[in-house]
Structures are given as structure tokens and as C-alpha cells.
């Protein structure tokens, strides 16, 4: 189950409930403050949809929803960054190009920090296609293999 809420208090409550039931905790990303608090929580397993937002990119850098600080926190707290392939199909050409560029930046940040990545949803594709997609976006072979197998 994916936790989708805009308030941090509600999200933290749902995270505790999911952890008590022994479920895998997956949280949909929101704004930067929300994401920071989620990544600081050690009970979260995966944060998804960092790239899908309405904020504008700055002139010299994309706003991919992830930065070095968040990537290092995610590595420290053993949180995987999820790349959502399913929602790409619903976008138009221009928006799809923006989201893929943000995914590329997030892959680069995860490579630098050593943070785990996962292709989401796991059962919608075969391993070879998933690895090929990640490698085309800039992932190395080892990282792509782990992202598809977990």
C-alpha cells in the first residue's frame, strides 16, 4: 500500500500503523519539507514519485525532488528511492521529457551517495527491460541489477 497524504502528521501515523502490521512502507513524495521528514524516518522502506511535481525547474538545475542531503539521509536510513515507470505512460511528450530528465538526475545522485534505487511497480516488467531502462538513464549495471531484483 502506498501512503498518499499531504500532511506530515497523518503520514507519520499511517507509517506507524503499516509498520505494526509488518507491511512494506511506501510513501508518495510531496514538497521538499515533507520529503525531508519522510526520509529522516527510519520506518520508511521506499519513497516514490520524487520526480512528479508541479514545481518549476530553475535555470541551471532541475528540481528533481532529491538532493545530495536527502540522498545521503536515505542511504543512512536504508530507504530506497523508487522510480515509477507506470505513471510515465500517462504523460504528454513534453512533460514526459521533463520527468525522465529528473529521473536521470536522481539516478546520478543515488550513484554518488550509494543510496538504493528500486523500479516501481516491481511486477509490471521483466528484469531485462527494467535494467535496460535504468542503464539508458545513466545507472551502472550493478545498481540496475539491484533495483530490478529487490
> Are 119 and 88 a contacting pair, CB within 8 Å?
no
Q: Which residues pair with residue 43 across a beta bridge?
A: none
pLDDT tens digits for range 66-101:
989 999 999 999 999 999 888 888 889 998 998 998
Domain ranges of the chain: 2-149
Instruction: Say if pTM beats, i.e. exceeds, 0.95.
Output: no
Architecture of the domain spanning 2-149: Alpha-Beta Barrel (3.20)
Band of the pLDDT at 6, cuts 50, 70, 90? confident
**Going edge to edge, which strands form the sheet with 117-120?**
2-3, 26-28, 46-48, 80-84, 117-120
Amino acid at each position: 500500500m502506498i501512503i498518499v497524504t499531504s500532511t506530515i502528521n497523518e503520514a507519520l501515523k499511517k507509517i506507524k500503523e503499516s509498520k505494526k502490521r509488518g507491511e512494506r512502507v511506501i510513501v508518495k513524495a510531496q514538497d521538499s519539507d515533507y520529503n525531508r521528514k519522510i526520509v529522516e524516518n527510519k520506518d520508511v522502506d521506499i519513497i516514490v514519485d520524487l520526480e512528479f511535481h508541479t514545481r518549476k525547474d530553475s535555470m541551471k538545475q532541475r528540481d528533481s525532488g532529491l538532493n545530495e542531503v536527502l540522498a545521503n539521509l536515505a542511504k543512512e536510513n536504508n530507504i530506497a528511492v523508487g522510480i515509477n515507470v507506470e505513471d510515465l505512460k500517462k504523460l504528454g511528450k513534453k512533460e514526459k521529457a521533463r520527468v525522465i530528465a529528473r529521473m536521470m538526475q536522481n539516478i546520478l545522485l543515488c550513484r554518488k551517495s550509494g543510496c538504493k534505487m528500486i523500479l516501481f511497480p516491481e511486477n509490471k516488467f521483466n528484469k531485462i527491460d527494467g535494467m535496460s531502462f535504468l542503464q539508458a538513464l545513466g545507472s551502472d549495471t550493478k545498481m540496475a541489477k539491484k533495483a530490478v531484483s529487490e
